[in-house]
Structure 1
Amino acid sequence: MRILLFLSLWLTLILYIPGGESVLPLVINTWAFQSATETAWKVLEQGGSSLDAVEKGCAQCEIDQCDGSVGYGGSPDEMGETTLDAMIMDGNTMNVGAVADLRRIKNAIGVARAVLDYSKHTFLVGESASLFAESMGFLHEDLTTVKSRSIYLNWLNQNCQPNYWRNVVPDASKSCGPYKPVKGFKEWKNLHTENKVNLHSHDTIGMIAVDEAGNVATGTSTNGATHKIPGRVGDSPIAGAGSYADSTTGGAAATGNGDLMMRFLPSYQAVEYMRLGMEPSKACEKTISRIQKHFPAFFGAVICANNSGSYGAACSKAPGFTQFHFTVLKKGISRPQNEVVNCI
């Protein structure tokens, strides 16, 4: 009997020492968006699911208009309109709900959750996504603000610089459109060397939540790239690109230049590296290195967490971007902590 008691105590200690220490539940998200972290954490503290935590956490960022890159009133497109992208993934069921180019609806992550809960689809886009949202009871609202209108008008006054066109006439680097394609153009240089867009025009909240039982959920929300061509969809709402969750392993989320990063499914790749036994920090680094082989100076970062609560992050060094800030709240910590990783 004493032997059994000793073994039980020994196993308990293993679960609570460094390397096996219980840090669950855990919330980790991109950037210093602490109110979003706190909101997600409260859901877990009250016994809510990791999926609920991600939805509420990302929704908080939409309300707060985090850095102007999430939610309404930010990142107007070429027509001056703010549109939203979001996704949410359940690591237990592998179900996903996503929306892109969402118009007139402020709670994009909520609509993504509705796609997951109330449809057999995974991804709805554009005007049809907005109509779906309205049918689900989401309020029709104008996403334009004085600030976003000012951003748009200043851009027009600067001859529409910067923008996302290439191989067109008139010269997109000097003037506004409408544009027409150049016939017989020479191969353009890689996007990462030609597209001198403000780094923060690509910010996204990506979040991972792991509850006490190790159930994993992830999600993202963004208003996309500032001055994007209308209809553009980046990596954020795409499962495996913007985020990915698998409760048997862990979760990951990405932020940065989505037009590049989505080509490599970095969140899926990071989770697969963790499945092979890599620690989260190493999985993130290896994922970033994989993209750098093709785009050495790309702007982007990945956060990773496994289902036991270990976590990490990595970023790609780019001009003006040498460190990446992310936020963590876990068992044993009373307030969200801003952590920093040096880019590779």
Structure 2
Amino acid sequence: MKRRNFIKRASLTGLGLAVVPSIISCETEAKKDKKAAAVGTPVLPIVVATWRFHNATKAAWEVLEKGGASIDAIEAGCRIEEADLKNTTVGNGATPDRDGNVTLDACIMNKKGDYGAVVCMENIAHPISVARKVMEETPHVLLAGKGAEQFAVSQGFKRENLLTESSRKAWEKWKVKSEYKPIINIENHDTIGMLAIDKNGDISGGCTTSGLAYKMAGRVGDSAIIGSGLFIDNTVGGATATGMGEEVLKTVGSYLIVELMRQGRTPQEACEEGVKRIVESNPNYKNFQVGYVALNKQGEYGCYCIHGGFGISKYQEGKQTYVESNAYTKKA
């Protein structure tokens, strides 16, 4: 069973009881939240994340509910997916590159706008936590490859083999033809991007991935790059991306969306414009997926994508919700 189908059918389990998140439309929620913000009743805290990563948003919510900081919630939530061996697109058990090596990218941003990231890091299961260490313990913002790995070890992280037997077998099978053909809404990777606002109204964000399956060695996508896969401005809000990273990089998508919100656009409107910038500049947009999620300081959020099938997990007021994204429609 494809991982996407497995997740789609799975239910969130808490305290031994199955909890099935309600499913709503991002456009409907955006309108409702806009009305709430207009009368001055934002509901905080809140956490949103790409795709159906319900366990991750639940872990983040548990931090927020106890009064924890948004940066701690982001790290806790992202670590859930990095440790999930069934998730072959993030952390331990991820799909390797063309040479059979699992390389990981991640970044994190806090309320101050501080940023830390790692790219092409091997043998360390929790890149989101290493990225936070880069942010807090070094004068740098981004470490790559062996340098990132060595730094992680110096900070107490243990080296381990991240290539599971199932991922190795899939790679061996792929090598028979060695073809790369992106599949819409799978595209060999499902990045988790997460945004959270805590009870103090401070926003943070994180993004972690193994990138494209069977990518060229050394390939880096948008996920760990500030302004592309993630951007946070505590005076405005934040945005994160998923999908074909090369297209997000070319438009600096997450930064664009935050700036649009600064200019007065709602999160929904900003996400729609971010997608529009991509499809208008690339005639091959029908062949790949990009999805954006945005969250402003009032607790309003939005999501939009090129093709249907994308959505976000939201946790707010103790309730888990799956929000289906609207998709781009070319105007006549």
**Which TM-score band (shorter chain)?**
0.7 to 0.9
AA aligned to 1:233 is V
Residue in structure 2 matched with residue 217 of structure 1 by the alignment: 204
Residue in structure 1 matched with residue 45 of structure 2 by the alignment: 25
Indicate whether 1:82 and 2:102 are aligned.
yes
Residue in structure 2 matched with residue 57 of structure 1 by the alignment: 77
| Pairwise CA distance, 1:212 | 2.0
Residue in structure 2 matched with residue 161 of structure 1 by the alignment: 179
| Pairwise CA distance, 1:65 | 4.2
Residue in structure 2 matched with residue 305 of structure 1 by the alignment: 295
Counterpart secondary structure, 2:310: strand
Residue in structure 1 matched with residue 21 of structure 2 by the alignment: none
Contact 1:85 1:101 in 2 (8 A): yes
Cα 1:100/1:310, change in 2 over 3 Å: same
Whole-angstrom distance in 2 between the partners of 1:324 and 1:259: 18
Indicate whether 1:105 and 2:120 are aligned.
no
Contact 2:51 2:312 in 1 (8 A): yes
Residue in structure 2 matched with residue 206 of structure 1 by the alignment: 193
Residue in structure 2 matched with residue 95 of structure 1 by the alignment: 114
What are the within-5 Å matches in structure 2 for residues 151-300 of structure 1?
Answer: 151-157=170-176, 159-162=177-180, 196-199=181-184, 200=186, 201-295=188-282, 296-297=285-286, 298-300=288-290
Residue in structure 2 matched with residue 327 of structure 1 by the alignment: 313
Counterpart secondary structure, 2:275: helix
Structure 1 unaligned spans of 5+: 1-14, 163-195
Please give the per-residue CA displacement for 1:252-280, whole angstroms capped at 9, x wherever unaligned. Answer: 00000002211111111110010011111
Q: Which structure has the larger Rg?
A: 1
AA aligned to 1:338 is Y
Cα 1:17/1:128, change in 2 over 3 Å: closer
Identical aligned pairs, as a percentage? 39
| Pairwise CA distance, 1:242 | 0.7
Please give the per-residue CA displacement for 1:270-293, whole angstroms capped at 9, x wherever unaligned. Answer: 100100111110110011101111
Counterpart secondary structure, 2:175: helix
| Pairwise CA distance, 1:335 | 3.0
Contact 1:16 1:22 in 2 (8 A): no
How much is the aligned-residue C-alpha RMSD, in angstroms? 1.5
Contact 1:76 1:151 in 2 (8 A): no
Please give the per-residue CA displacement for 1:107-135, whole angstroms capped at 9, x wherever unaligned. Answer: 11000000011001000000110000000
Whole-angstrom distance in 2 between the partners of 1:119 and 1:130: 14
TM-score by length of 1: 0.81
Residue in structure 2 matched with residue 123 of structure 1 by the alignment: 142
| Pairwise CA distance, 1:214 | 1.8
Structure 2 unaligned spans of 5+: 1-33
Indicate whether 1:336 and 2:320 are aligned.
yes
TM-score by length of 2: 0.84
Counterpart secondary structure, 1:38: helix
Counterpart secondary structure, 1:98: strand
Contact 2:196 2:203 in 1 (8 A): yes
| Pairwise CA distance, 1:67 | 3.5
Cα 1:17/1:242, change in 2 over 3 Å: closer
Cα 1:335/1:145, change in 2 over 3 Å: same
Whole-angstrom distance in 1 between the partners of 2:194 and 2:86: 13
Residue in structure 2 matched with residue 171 of structure 1 by the alignment: none
| Pairwise CA distance, 1:213 | 2.3
AA aligned to 1:323 is G
Whole-angstrom distance in 2 between the partners of 1:78 and 1:216: 37
Number of residues of Structure 1 aligned to a counterpart in Structure 2: 289
Please give the per-residue CA displacement for 1:168-207, whole angstroms capped at 9, x wherever unaligned. Answer: xxxxxxxxxxxxxxxxxxxxxxxxxxxx323421310000
AA aligned to 2:50 is T
Whole-angstrom distance in 1 between the partners of 2:58 and 2:138: 30
| Pairwise CA distance, 1:66 | 6.2
Contact 1:72 1:223 in 2 (8 A): no
Whole-angstrom distance in 1 between the partners of 2:319 and 2:263: 32
